[in-house]
């Protein structure tokens, strides 16, 4: 479960974590949120670790963890900046919602499965 919470910086939201999310099928100009983001994940309730910070890469509205791992990520950043994603590993999953803006973003997350946790995330654009 700790790895699921870690991936939230994916996903954040963004989805993001770890495996590429579902790719867009149409070719278009880069999304305004494309780039590298640093995401801080904070646990507000439950037995998950207190805080994490991870890199997330967004490409064409799809987020992926900047590192490696064995997570499944589905979700995206909408052109409006709205973030909705699911990050899962085994029977554990985290639902991520929030919004990205100009150079920053934030939102909430909750887990399901054998460990129940919830909290918030904050993102800052790095490149």
What CA–CA distance (Å, rounded) separates 86 from 37? 18
State which residues form the domain around 64: 2-125
Highest mean pLDDT among 16-20, 28-32, 100-104: 100-104
- pTM, entire model: 0.72
The answer to whether residue 124 scores a pLDDT higher than 90 is yes
Q: Answer yes or no: is pLDDT of 83 > 90.
A: yes
Number of domains comprising the chain = 1
Mean of the per-residue pLDDT values for the chain?
76
Rounded Cα distance between 29 and 102, Å, is 18
- Of 72, 52, 58, residue with least CA distance to 117: 52
In angstroms, how far is the first alpha carbon of the chain from the final one?
29
Q: CATH number, domain at 54?
A: 2.40.128
Bridge partners of 100? 105
Instruction: Check whether 100 has a pLDDT greater than 80.
Output: yes
Between 78 and 7, whose confidence is greater?
78
| Angle ∠(67,18,79) on CA atoms, nearest 5 | 110
């Amino acid at each position: 479960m700790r790895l699921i919470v870690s991936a939230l910086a994916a996903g954040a939201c963004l989805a993001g974590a770890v495996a590429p999310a579902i790719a867009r099928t149409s070719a278009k100009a880069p999304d305004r949120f494309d780039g590298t983001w640093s995401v801080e994940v904070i646990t507000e309730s439950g037995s998950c670790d207190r805080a994490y910070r991870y890199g997330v890469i967004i490409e064409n509205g799809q987020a992926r963890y900047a590192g490696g791992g064995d997570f499944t990520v589905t979700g995206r950043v909408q052109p409006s900046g709205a973030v909705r994603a699911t990050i899962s590993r085994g029977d554990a999953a985290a639902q991520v919602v929030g919004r990205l803006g100009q150079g920053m973003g934030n939102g909430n997350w909750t887990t399901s499965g054998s460990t129940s946790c919830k909290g918030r995330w904050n993102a800052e654009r790095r490149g």
